[in-house]
Amino acid sequence: MGIKNNSRRNFINKCFSSGGLFIGGMLLINCRGKNESPGDESETKIQGNLKDPCKDLTDVSDGEIKKRESLGYVKQSAVPNNSCGNCALYIPAKPDKKCGGCILFKGPVYVEGHCIQWAAITT
């Protein structure tokens, strides 16, 4: 009986230590990106002089930025023939603006962009 208890005890200890390592590793992976500079797919608010007005999110709330991210919006579509410019939800740029918009979220949108809610234009 002493051997079985020792085996169970060892098994339980190994399970907890393995689980702790797994959870710790996941926390490190999730925290790793917090201080890195944003890439093409993650947008942040930009202030000051802008070379590209489609990146200017200064007037966009954090909630709207999260909505953009949750919809997988990217400034350059990887899907052939599926871009914001040929999406039914796209709001074309006004003559004095370089960026369009979207019915689903606020802020500037690239005509070459894409998100998971892309919808074909019906005629």
The answer to whether the CB of 73 falls within 8 A of the CB of 85 is no
Q: 27 or 106, which is more confident?
A: 106
Does 67 have pLDDT greater than 80? yes
> pLDDT digits over 82-109, tens only?
999 999 999 999 998 889 999 999 999 9
In order of 14, 29, 37, 93, 112, the CA distances from 101 in angstroms are: 53, 33, 25, 7, 12
* Strand ranges for 1-123 from DSSP E: 90-91, 101-102
Q: Tokens at residue 48, please?
A: 């000051």
Q: What is the pLDDT of residue 35?
A: 47
Residues 6+ apart with CB under 8 A from 54: 75, 98, 99, 108, 109, 110
Rounded to the nearest integer, the mean pLDDT of the chain is: 78
> In this structure, are residues 108 and 54 in contact, taking their beta carbons and an 8 Å threshold?
yes
Least confident of 14-18, 47-51, 66-70: 47-51
- H or E element, residue 36: none
CA distances from 108 to 93, 118, 119 (A): 9, 16, 18
Of 31, 36, 108, nearest to 73 by C-alpha is 108
Please report, rounded to a whole number, the percentage of residues in the chain having pLDDT higher than 90. Answer: 47
The overall pTM is greater than 0.75: no
